[in-house]
Chain A
Amino acid sequence: MRPFDYIIPKDHAEASALLAEGSGAARAFQGGTDLLIRVRGGFIRPERVVDLKSLPGMQEIRLGKDGWLVIGAACTMNQVAIHPLVRERYDLLAQGTASVASYQLRNRATIGGNCCNASPAADTAPPLFCLDTIVELYGPGGVRRLPIADFYVGPGRTALQRGEFLTSIHLPPSPTGAQGVYNKLGRTKVGDIAVMSVAVYAWPAATQSGLTWRIALGAVGPTPLRAPEAETALAADISPAGVVAAAQLAAGASRPIDDIRASAAYRRDMVRVLARRGIEKVLDLTGLRDLSGLGGAA
Protein backbone atom coordinates (compact mmCIF):
# COMPACT_ATOMS: atom_id res chain seq x y z
CA MET A 1 0.00 0.00 0.00
CA ARG A 2 1.22 3.48 -0.89
CA PRO A 3 2.64 5.16 2.25
CA PHE A 4 0.57 7.69 4.17
CA ASP A 5 0.71 9.24 7.63
CA TYR A 6 -1.84 8.26 10.21
CA ILE A 7 -3.04 11.08 12.47
CA ILE A 8 -5.34 11.14 15.47
CA PRO A 9 -6.58 14.74 15.86
CA LYS A 10 -7.08 16.02 19.40
CA ASP A 11 -10.34 17.85 18.76
CA HIS A 12 -12.89 18.78 16.09
CA ALA A 13 -11.10 21.99 15.11
CA GLU A 14 -7.80 20.21 14.53
CA ALA A 15 -9.54 17.46 12.54
CA SER A 16 -11.18 20.05 10.33
CA ALA A 17 -7.93 21.95 9.83
CA LEU A 18 -6.06 18.76 8.91
CA LEU A 19 -8.76 17.75 6.41
CA ALA A 20 -8.76 21.20 4.81
CA GLU A 21 -4.99 21.21 4.12
CA GLY A 22 -3.89 20.49 0.55
CA SER A 23 -6.35 19.31 -2.09
CA GLY A 24 -7.29 15.69 -1.50
CA ALA A 25 -4.03 15.15 0.38
CA ALA A 26 -5.84 14.32 3.61
CA ARG A 27 -8.69 11.84 4.00
CA ALA A 28 -11.06 11.17 6.85
CA PHE A 29 -10.65 7.64 8.17
CA GLN A 30 -12.97 5.57 10.37
CA GLY A 31 -13.25 1.82 9.76
CA GLY A 32 -11.11 2.04 6.64
CA THR A 33 -13.17 -0.64 4.89
CA ASP A 34 -13.79 1.58 1.87
CA LEU A 35 -10.75 3.82 2.17
CA LEU A 36 -8.03 1.15 2.38
CA ILE A 37 -9.49 -0.69 -0.60
CA ARG A 38 -9.36 2.51 -2.64
CA VAL A 39 -5.80 3.30 -1.57
CA ARG A 40 -4.67 -0.25 -2.42
CA GLY A 41 -6.39 0.01 -5.79
CA GLY A 42 -4.53 3.28 -6.49
CA PHE A 43 -7.82 5.20 -6.88
CA ILE A 44 -6.85 7.71 -4.20
CA ARG A 45 -3.42 8.75 -2.97
CA PRO A 46 -3.78 10.42 0.41
CA GLU A 47 -0.67 11.78 2.10
CA ARG A 48 -2.38 11.44 5.47
CA VAL A 49 -5.42 9.82 6.92
CA VAL A 50 -7.17 11.51 9.81
CA ASP A 51 -8.75 9.01 12.21
CA LEU A 52 -11.95 10.62 13.51
CA LYS A 53 -13.07 7.71 15.69
CA SER A 54 -11.85 8.97 19.04
CA LEU A 55 -13.25 12.51 18.80
CA PRO A 56 -15.86 13.08 21.54
CA GLY A 57 -19.26 11.54 20.79
CA MET A 58 -18.19 9.77 17.61
CA GLN A 59 -18.74 6.27 19.01
CA GLU A 60 -21.77 7.09 21.15
CA ILE A 61 -25.47 6.37 20.73
CA ARG A 62 -27.64 8.56 22.94
CA LEU A 63 -31.22 9.64 23.32
CA GLY A 64 -31.56 13.43 23.13
CA LYS A 65 -33.93 15.36 25.42
CA ASP A 66 -36.18 16.05 22.44
CA GLY A 67 -36.62 12.29 21.88
CA TRP A 68 -34.28 12.14 18.89
CA LEU A 69 -31.75 9.34 18.75
CA VAL A 70 -28.22 10.60 18.06
CA ILE A 71 -25.79 8.09 16.57
CA GLY A 72 -22.10 9.06 16.44
CA ALA A 73 -20.69 8.83 12.92
CA ALA A 74 -18.02 6.30 13.95
CA CYS A 75 -20.42 3.78 15.52
CA THR A 76 -19.84 0.41 13.89
CA MET A 77 -22.55 -1.49 12.05
CA ASN A 78 -22.60 -4.12 14.82
CA GLN A 79 -22.87 -1.47 17.51
CA VAL A 80 -25.91 0.07 15.77
CA ALA A 81 -27.49 -3.28 14.87
CA ILE A 82 -27.56 -4.58 18.45
CA HIS A 83 -28.32 -1.33 20.28
CA PRO A 84 -31.53 -1.81 22.33
CA LEU A 85 -33.03 1.58 21.35
CA VAL A 86 -32.26 1.03 17.67
CA ARG A 87 -33.87 -2.40 17.78
CA GLU A 88 -36.88 -1.21 19.72
CA ARG A 89 -37.62 2.00 17.83
CA TYR A 90 -35.70 1.88 14.53
CA ASP A 91 -35.64 -1.79 13.66
CA LEU A 92 -35.50 -0.86 9.96
CA LEU A 93 -32.03 0.63 10.52
CA ALA A 94 -30.98 -2.42 12.58
CA GLN A 95 -31.94 -4.57 9.58
CA GLY A 96 -29.93 -2.39 7.19
CA THR A 97 -26.79 -2.35 9.31
CA ALA A 98 -27.02 -6.09 10.05
CA SER A 99 -27.16 -6.83 6.30
CA VAL A 100 -23.68 -5.37 5.63
CA ALA A 101 -20.94 -7.84 4.65
CA SER A 102 -19.82 -10.20 7.45
CA TYR A 103 -19.79 -10.06 11.25
CA GLN A 104 -16.08 -9.24 11.41
CA LEU A 105 -16.37 -6.53 8.76
CA ARG A 106 -19.32 -5.02 10.68
CA ASN A 107 -16.97 -4.66 13.67
CA ARG A 108 -15.00 -2.15 11.57
CA ALA A 109 -17.40 -0.65 9.02
CA THR A 110 -19.07 2.45 10.46
CA ILE A 111 -22.46 4.00 9.77
CA GLY A 112 -20.83 7.38 9.06
CA GLY A 113 -18.28 5.87 6.69
CA ASN A 114 -21.14 4.22 4.85
CA CYS A 115 -22.86 7.62 4.38
CA CYS A 116 -19.68 9.51 3.44
CA ASN A 117 -18.60 6.87 0.93
CA ALA A 118 -21.92 7.74 -0.78
CA SER A 119 -22.36 4.51 -2.68
CA PRO A 120 -25.88 4.27 -4.14
CA ALA A 121 -25.78 0.68 -2.77
CA ALA A 122 -24.98 1.73 0.82
CA ASP A 123 -27.15 -0.47 3.03
CA THR A 124 -27.80 2.14 5.70
CA ALA A 125 -29.14 4.63 3.14
CA PRO A 126 -32.65 3.30 2.31
CA PRO A 127 -33.46 2.93 6.04
CA LEU A 128 -32.04 6.40 6.83
CA PHE A 129 -34.06 7.94 3.95
CA CYS A 130 -37.27 6.34 5.28
CA LEU A 131 -36.58 7.54 8.82
CA ASP A 132 -36.32 11.24 7.76
CA THR A 133 -32.76 11.36 9.09
CA ILE A 134 -30.82 14.57 9.66
CA VAL A 135 -27.02 14.49 9.50
CA GLU A 136 -24.77 16.86 11.44
CA LEU A 137 -21.54 18.15 9.92
CA TYR A 138 -18.64 20.00 11.51
CA GLY A 139 -16.40 22.27 9.47
CA PRO A 140 -14.54 25.55 9.22
CA GLY A 141 -17.89 27.38 9.19
CA GLY A 142 -19.11 25.61 12.34
CA VAL A 143 -21.87 23.03 12.69
CA ARG A 144 -24.64 22.53 10.14
CA ARG A 145 -27.44 20.04 9.67
CA LEU A 146 -28.86 18.57 6.50
CA PRO A 147 -31.59 16.09 5.58
CA ILE A 148 -29.96 12.82 4.48
CA ALA A 149 -31.39 13.19 0.96
CA ASP A 150 -29.47 16.46 0.53
CA PHE A 151 -26.26 14.88 1.85
CA TYR A 152 -26.12 12.30 -0.96
CA VAL A 153 -25.27 14.30 -4.09
CA GLY A 154 -24.15 11.65 -6.60
CA PRO A 155 -22.28 8.36 -6.82
CA GLY A 156 -19.39 8.76 -4.33
CA ARG A 157 -20.30 12.44 -3.84
CA THR A 158 -21.66 14.12 -0.74
CA ALA A 159 -22.52 17.66 0.32
CA LEU A 160 -19.36 17.75 2.49
CA GLN A 161 -17.31 20.88 1.84
CA ARG A 162 -13.59 21.23 2.24
CA GLY A 163 -12.54 20.66 5.86
CA GLU A 164 -15.98 19.38 6.80
CA PHE A 165 -16.77 15.98 8.29
CA LEU A 166 -19.80 14.05 9.46
CA THR A 167 -20.18 13.96 13.24
CA SER A 168 -23.56 12.37 13.88
CA ILE A 169 -26.77 10.96 12.53
CA HIS A 170 -30.05 12.16 14.05
CA LEU A 171 -33.23 10.10 13.95
CA PRO A 172 -36.53 11.81 14.80
CA PRO A 173 -38.73 10.11 17.42
CA SER A 174 -40.29 7.06 15.83
CA PRO A 175 -44.08 7.35 15.43
CA THR A 176 -46.15 4.99 17.59
CA GLY A 177 -46.77 1.69 15.83
CA ALA A 178 -44.18 2.29 13.09
CA GLN A 179 -42.94 -0.81 11.24
CA GLY A 180 -40.22 -1.22 8.65
CA VAL A 181 -38.75 -3.90 6.42
CA TYR A 182 -35.42 -3.83 4.53
CA ASN A 183 -35.16 -6.24 1.62
CA LYS A 184 -31.82 -6.58 -0.13
CA LEU A 185 -30.99 -8.62 -3.19
CA GLY A 186 -27.42 -9.95 -3.33
CA ARG A 187 -25.75 -12.76 -5.23
CA THR A 188 -25.76 -14.72 -1.97
CA LYS A 189 -28.40 -14.89 0.75
CA VAL A 190 -26.26 -12.97 3.25
CA GLY A 191 -23.04 -10.99 3.18
CA ASP A 192 -23.03 -9.61 -0.35
CA ILE A 193 -23.21 -6.00 -1.51
CA ALA A 194 -26.71 -5.07 -2.75
CA VAL A 195 -27.61 -5.61 -6.41
CA MET A 196 -30.51 -3.42 -5.37
CA SER A 197 -32.58 -2.98 -2.23
CA VAL A 198 -35.90 -1.60 -0.99
CA ALA A 199 -36.81 -0.22 2.44
CA VAL A 200 -40.49 0.11 3.34
CA TYR A 201 -41.67 1.97 6.44
CA ALA A 202 -45.17 2.91 7.64
CA TRP A 203 -46.96 4.18 10.72
CA PRO A 204 -50.61 4.64 11.76
CA ALA A 205 -51.93 8.06 10.71
CA ALA A 206 -55.12 9.82 9.66
CA THR A 207 -54.82 8.93 5.98
CA GLN A 208 -57.39 7.13 3.85
CA SER A 209 -55.59 3.80 4.32
CA GLY A 210 -54.79 4.49 7.99
CA LEU A 211 -51.02 4.57 7.37
CA THR A 212 -48.38 7.04 6.23
CA TRP A 213 -45.64 5.44 4.09
CA ARG A 214 -41.99 5.82 3.20
CA ILE A 215 -40.32 3.79 0.48
CA ALA A 216 -36.62 4.15 -0.39
CA LEU A 217 -34.58 2.35 -3.04
CA GLY A 218 -30.91 1.40 -3.05
CA ALA A 219 -28.57 0.83 -6.02
CA VAL A 220 -31.08 1.89 -8.67
CA GLY A 221 -29.97 5.49 -9.20
CA PRO A 222 -27.01 7.84 -8.79
CA THR A 223 -28.02 8.23 -5.13
CA PRO A 224 -30.45 6.29 -2.96
CA LEU A 225 -33.97 7.40 -3.97
CA ARG A 226 -37.38 7.85 -2.40
CA ALA A 227 -40.45 6.63 -4.30
CA PRO A 228 -42.97 9.40 -3.46
CA GLU A 229 -45.70 8.33 -5.90
CA ALA A 230 -45.78 4.86 -4.37
CA GLU A 231 -45.91 6.39 -0.87
CA THR A 232 -48.88 8.60 -1.80
CA ALA A 233 -50.71 5.74 -3.49
CA LEU A 234 -50.39 3.57 -0.37
CA ALA A 235 -51.69 6.34 1.88
CA ALA A 236 -54.89 6.11 -0.16
CA ASP A 237 -55.17 2.41 -0.96
CA ILE A 238 -53.73 -0.74 0.63
CA SER A 239 -56.05 -3.23 -1.07
CA PRO A 240 -54.29 -6.08 -2.91
CA ALA A 241 -54.69 -4.16 -6.17
CA GLY A 242 -53.42 -0.99 -4.48
CA VAL A 243 -50.30 -2.82 -3.26
CA VAL A 244 -49.55 -4.16 -6.75
CA ALA A 245 -50.02 -0.69 -8.23
CA ALA A 246 -47.77 0.92 -5.60
CA ALA A 247 -45.01 -1.65 -6.21
CA GLN A 248 -45.20 -0.75 -9.91
CA LEU A 249 -44.94 2.96 -9.06
CA ALA A 250 -41.85 2.21 -6.94
CA ALA A 251 -40.25 0.45 -9.93
CA GLY A 252 -41.12 3.53 -12.00
CA ALA A 253 -39.25 5.76 -9.54
CA SER A 254 -36.02 3.81 -10.05
CA ARG A 255 -33.32 5.03 -12.47
CA PRO A 256 -31.05 1.98 -12.68
CA ILE A 257 -28.05 1.36 -14.92
CA ASP A 258 -26.57 -1.77 -16.49
CA ASP A 259 -23.38 -2.86 -14.75
CA ILE A 260 -21.43 -6.00 -13.87
CA ARG A 261 -23.83 -6.88 -11.06
CA ALA A 262 -27.13 -6.67 -12.96
CA SER A 263 -28.92 -5.13 -15.91
CA ALA A 264 -31.08 -2.05 -15.52
CA ALA A 265 -34.19 -3.96 -16.60
CA TYR A 266 -33.62 -6.68 -14.02
CA ARG A 267 -33.01 -4.15 -11.27
CA ARG A 268 -36.20 -2.24 -12.13
CA ASP A 269 -38.28 -5.41 -12.07
CA MET A 270 -36.73 -6.50 -8.78
CA VAL A 271 -37.74 -3.14 -7.26
CA ARG A 272 -41.33 -4.08 -8.08
CA VAL A 273 -40.93 -7.54 -6.48
CA LEU A 274 -39.07 -6.44 -3.33
CA ALA A 275 -41.35 -3.40 -2.89
CA ARG A 276 -44.44 -5.64 -3.00
CA ARG A 277 -42.91 -8.10 -0.52
CA GLY A 278 -41.87 -5.25 1.76
CA ILE A 279 -45.30 -3.59 1.68
CA GLU A 280 -47.06 -6.89 2.40
CA LYS A 281 -44.69 -7.63 5.29
CA VAL A 282 -45.23 -4.16 6.77
CA LEU A 283 -49.01 -4.67 6.51
CA ASP A 284 -48.54 -7.97 8.37
CA LEU A 285 -46.49 -6.28 11.08
CA THR A 286 -48.97 -3.42 11.53
CA GLY A 287 -51.81 -5.97 11.67
CA LEU A 288 -53.56 -4.27 8.75
CA ARG A 289 -53.06 -6.98 6.18
CA ASP A 290 -56.37 -8.71 6.89
CA LEU A 291 -58.25 -5.42 6.65
CA SER A 292 -56.58 -4.79 3.31
CA GLY A 293 -58.20 -7.95 1.96
CA LEU A 294 -54.91 -9.75 1.33
CA GLY A 295 -55.94 -12.39 3.89
CA GLY A 296 -53.40 -15.07 4.62
CA ALA A 297 -52.30 -15.54 1.00
CA ALA A 298 -48.51 -16.01 0.81
Chain B
Amino acid sequence: MNHTIHFKVNGERYDLSVPGHHTLLQVLREQLVLTGTKNGCEAGECGACAVLMNGEPVNSCMVLAAEADGAEIVTIEGLAHDSQLDPLQDAFIEAGAIQCGFCTPGVLVNARALLNRNSDPSEPEIREALVGNLCRCTGYIRIIEAVKMAARAGKEVAG
Protein backbone atom coordinates (compact mmCIF):
# COMPACT_ATOMS: atom_id res chain seq x y z
CA MET B 1 0.00 0.00 0.00
CA ASN B 2 1.38 3.39 -1.02
CA HIS B 3 1.18 6.57 1.01
CA THR B 4 1.06 10.09 -0.29
CA ILE B 5 3.45 12.28 1.63
CA HIS B 6 3.90 16.04 1.52
CA PHE B 7 7.19 17.25 2.88
CA LYS B 8 9.97 19.77 2.44
CA VAL B 9 13.48 18.75 1.57
CA ASN B 10 16.15 21.45 1.67
CA GLY B 11 13.42 24.09 1.49
CA GLU B 12 11.62 22.62 -1.53
CA ARG B 13 8.14 21.09 -1.33
CA TYR B 14 7.55 17.57 -2.62
CA ASP B 15 4.44 15.42 -2.94
CA LEU B 16 5.42 11.80 -3.33
CA SER B 17 3.84 8.38 -3.32
CA VAL B 18 5.86 5.98 -1.17
CA PRO B 19 5.46 2.30 -0.19
CA GLY B 20 4.89 1.79 3.56
CA HIS B 21 8.12 -0.14 4.07
CA HIS B 22 10.44 2.28 2.25
CA THR B 23 12.80 4.25 4.43
CA LEU B 24 13.41 7.97 4.26
CA LEU B 25 16.96 7.11 3.12
CA GLN B 26 15.65 5.07 0.19
CA VAL B 27 13.24 7.80 -0.89
CA LEU B 28 15.84 10.57 -0.65
CA ARG B 29 18.37 8.61 -2.66
CA GLU B 30 16.18 6.73 -5.13
CA GLN B 31 13.13 8.95 -5.69
CA LEU B 32 14.69 12.39 -5.20
CA VAL B 33 18.19 11.33 -6.34
CA LEU B 34 19.73 13.21 -3.44
CA THR B 35 22.63 10.78 -3.24
CA GLY B 36 24.75 12.88 -0.87
CA THR B 37 23.12 10.99 1.99
CA LYS B 38 24.90 7.64 2.17
CA ASN B 39 23.79 4.10 2.92
CA GLY B 40 26.50 2.58 5.11
CA CYS B 41 24.95 -0.08 7.31
CA GLU B 42 21.13 0.28 7.25
CA ALA B 43 21.28 -0.63 10.92
CA GLY B 44 21.54 2.63 12.83
CA GLU B 45 25.20 2.08 13.61
CA CYS B 46 27.28 4.20 11.22
CA GLY B 47 25.55 7.59 10.85
CA ALA B 48 26.36 7.94 7.11
CA CYS B 49 22.62 8.40 6.46
CA ALA B 50 22.09 11.21 9.00
CA VAL B 51 19.71 14.01 7.99
CA LEU B 52 17.92 16.72 9.95
CA MET B 53 14.23 16.02 10.49
CA ASN B 54 12.43 19.06 11.90
CA GLY B 55 15.83 20.36 12.98
CA GLU B 56 17.00 17.24 14.82
CA PRO B 57 19.45 14.66 13.46
CA VAL B 58 18.13 11.16 12.75
CA ASN B 59 19.48 8.12 10.93
CA SER B 60 17.33 8.16 7.80
CA CYS B 61 17.78 4.38 7.39
CA MET B 62 15.73 3.96 10.58
CA VAL B 63 12.86 6.30 9.60
CA LEU B 64 10.00 5.19 7.36
CA ALA B 65 9.37 7.63 4.52
CA ALA B 66 5.67 7.65 5.43
CA GLU B 67 6.64 9.09 8.82
CA ALA B 68 8.17 12.12 7.10
CA ASP B 69 4.75 13.36 5.98
CA GLY B 70 4.61 17.03 6.99
CA ALA B 71 8.27 17.13 8.04
CA GLU B 72 11.09 19.46 7.07
CA ILE B 73 14.18 17.54 6.04
CA VAL B 74 17.67 18.93 5.53
CA THR B 75 20.25 16.74 3.81
CA ILE B 76 23.90 17.41 3.12
CA GLU B 77 22.81 19.03 -0.16
CA GLY B 78 20.96 21.65 1.91
CA LEU B 79 23.84 22.74 4.17
CA ALA B 80 25.40 25.18 1.71
CA HIS B 81 23.41 28.29 0.77
CA ASP B 82 23.70 30.18 -2.52
CA SER B 83 27.01 28.47 -3.29
CA GLN B 84 28.24 29.64 0.14
CA LEU B 85 29.56 26.63 2.06
CA ASP B 86 28.48 26.03 5.65
CA PRO B 87 31.33 27.15 7.98
CA LEU B 88 31.64 23.46 8.95
CA GLN B 89 32.29 22.51 5.33
CA ASP B 90 35.00 25.18 5.07
CA ALA B 91 36.54 23.92 8.32
CA PHE B 92 36.51 20.28 7.13
CA ILE B 93 38.41 21.29 3.99
CA GLU B 94 40.80 23.50 5.96
CA ALA B 95 41.51 20.83 8.61
CA GLY B 96 41.82 17.96 6.11
CA ALA B 97 39.00 16.13 7.89
CA ILE B 98 37.92 14.25 4.75
CA GLN B 99 39.61 11.25 3.16
CA CYS B 100 37.36 8.89 1.17
CA GLY B 101 34.42 11.12 2.09
CA PHE B 102 31.84 8.39 2.61
CA CYS B 103 31.15 9.30 6.25
CA THR B 104 31.43 13.06 5.63
CA PRO B 105 27.80 13.96 4.76
CA GLY B 106 26.52 12.28 7.92
CA VAL B 107 29.27 13.75 10.08
CA LEU B 108 28.60 17.24 8.71
CA VAL B 109 24.84 17.01 9.22
CA ASN B 110 25.29 15.72 12.76
CA ALA B 111 27.98 18.30 13.58
CA ARG B 112 25.67 21.06 12.24
CA ALA B 113 22.97 19.82 14.64
CA LEU B 114 25.50 19.90 17.48
CA LEU B 115 26.54 23.49 16.75
CA ASN B 116 22.89 24.52 16.42
CA ARG B 117 22.16 23.34 19.96
CA ASN B 118 25.56 24.21 21.48
CA SER B 119 27.60 26.85 19.68
CA ASP B 120 30.71 26.27 21.79
CA PRO B 121 31.06 22.53 22.51
CA SER B 122 33.96 21.11 24.50
CA GLU B 123 36.02 18.27 23.02
CA PRO B 124 34.20 15.61 25.12
CA GLU B 125 30.88 17.10 23.96
CA ILE B 126 31.99 16.87 20.31
CA ARG B 127 33.09 13.26 20.78
CA GLU B 128 29.83 12.37 22.54
CA ALA B 129 27.75 14.00 19.79
CA LEU B 130 29.58 12.17 17.00
CA VAL B 131 29.71 8.75 18.66
CA GLY B 132 27.16 7.44 16.15
CA ASN B 133 29.25 8.45 13.11
CA LEU B 134 31.82 5.89 12.09
CA CYS B 135 34.82 6.88 9.96
CA ARG B 136 37.25 4.23 8.77
CA CYS B 137 39.77 6.70 7.31
CA THR B 138 40.58 9.78 9.34
CA GLY B 139 41.04 8.48 12.87
CA TYR B 140 38.59 11.24 13.94
CA ILE B 141 41.23 13.69 15.22
CA ARG B 142 40.90 16.06 12.28
CA ILE B 143 37.12 15.79 12.30
CA ILE B 144 37.12 16.96 15.91
CA GLU B 145 39.61 19.73 15.05
CA ALA B 146 37.37 20.86 12.20
CA VAL B 147 34.28 21.06 14.41
CA LYS B 148 36.26 23.16 16.91
CA MET B 149 37.47 25.43 14.08
CA ALA B 150 33.93 25.92 12.81
CA ALA B 151 32.70 26.72 16.34
CA ARG B 152 35.47 29.34 16.69
CA ALA B 153 34.64 30.80 13.27
CA GLY B 154 30.97 30.96 14.27
CA LYS B 155 31.88 32.83 17.45
CA GLU B 156 33.93 35.39 15.52
CA VAL B 157 31.02 36.03 13.17
CA ALA B 158 28.59 36.29 16.09
CA GLY B 159 30.90 38.36 18.32
Indicate if the CB atoms of A108 and B59 lie closer than 8 Å. yes
Contact A105 B63 (CB under 8 A): no
In whole angstroms, how far apart are the Cα atoms of A31 and B57 in the complex? 14
Stretch at the interface among B95-103, B127-135, B140-148, B150-158: B127-135
A32 touches B47 (CB 8 A): no
Q: Which of A88-108 contact B (CB under 8 A)?
A: 101-105, 107-108
Q: Quick check: B21 and A104 within 8 Å, CB to CB? A: no
Tell me if A104 and B59 are in contact (CB < 8 A).
yes
Task: Say yes or no: is B71 at the interface (Cβ < 8 Å to chain A).
Answer: no
Given contacts A3-B19, A6-B20, A104-B50, contact A40 B43 (CB under 8 A): yes
A interface residues, how many (CB within 8 angstroms): 28
User: Assuming A101-B132, A102-B131, is B3 touching A108 (CB within 8 A)?
Assistant: no
B residues 105-134 with Cβ under 8 Å of A? 110, 113-114, 127-129, 131-133
How far, in angstroms, from A78 to B55 measured CA to CA in the complex? 14
Residue interface mask A1-35, B partner, CB < 8 A = 1: 11111110000000000000000000000011100
Number of A-B residue pairs, CB cutoff 8 Å, is 79
Q: With a CB–CB cut-off of 8 A, which chain A residues contact B110? A: 103-104
**Is B132's CB under 8 angstroms from A104's CB?**
yes
Chain A residues with Cβ below 8 Å from B129 are: 103
Q: Give the residues in chain B near A7, CB-CB below 8 Å.
A: 20
| Distance A221 CA – B156 CA, assembled complex (angstroms) | 53
Once bound together, how far apart are the Cα atoms of A3 and B23, in whole Å? 11
Please determine whether A37 and B64 come into contact, CB atoms closer than 8 angstroms.
Answer: no
Q: Which residue of B lies closest to A51 (CB)?
A: B67
A191 to B133, CA, bound (A): 11
The proximity string for B residues 1-42 relative to A, scoring 1 for CB distances below 8 Å and 0 otherwise, is 101000000000000000111110000000000000000001
B43-85 near A? 1/0 per residue, CB < 8 Å: 1100100100100111100111011000000000000000000
Given contacts A40-B43, A107-B57, A32 and B62 within 8 Å (CB-CB): yes
Given A101-B44, A103-B110, A191–B62 Cβ distance below 8 Å?
no
Q: Please, how many angstroms separate the alpha-carbon atoms of A147 and B3 in the complex?
A: 39
> Is the beta-carbon distance between B62 and A4 smaller than 8 angstroms?
no
CB atoms of B62 and A103 under 8 A apart: no
* Given A40-B42, A104-B50, A104-B132; A32-B20 close (CB under 8 Å): no
Q: Tell me if A236 counts as interface (CB < 8 A to partner B).
A: no
Q: Is A190 an interface residue (CB 8 A)?
A: yes
A104 touches B42 (CB 8 A): no
**A103 to B63, Cβ gap below 8 A?**
no
Residues of A within 8 A of B56 (CB): 78, 104, 107
CB of A241 closer than 8 Å to a CB of B: no
Q: Is A291 engaged at the interface, CB distance under 8 Å to the other chain?
A: no
Q: Are B58 and A104 in contact (CB under 8 A)?
A: yes
Chain A residues, CB < 8 A from B128? 103, 190
Binding site for B on A (CB under 8 A): 1-7, 31-33, 36-37, 39-40, 48-49, 51, 78, 101-105, 107-108, 188, 190-191
- Could you list 24 A-B pairs, sorted by A, with CB under 8 Å? A1-B21, A1-B22, A4-B21, A6-B20, A6-B66, A7-B20, A33-B62, A36-B23, A37-B44, A40-B43, A51-B67, A101-B132, A102-B132, A103-B110, A103-B113, A103-B132, A104-B58, A104-B59, A104-B132, A107-B53, A107-B58, A108-B63, A190-B127, A191-B131
- B residues touching A (Cβ–Cβ < 8 Å)? 1, 3, 19-23, 42-44, 47, 50, 53, 56-59, 62-64, 66-67, 110, 113-114, 127-129, 131-133
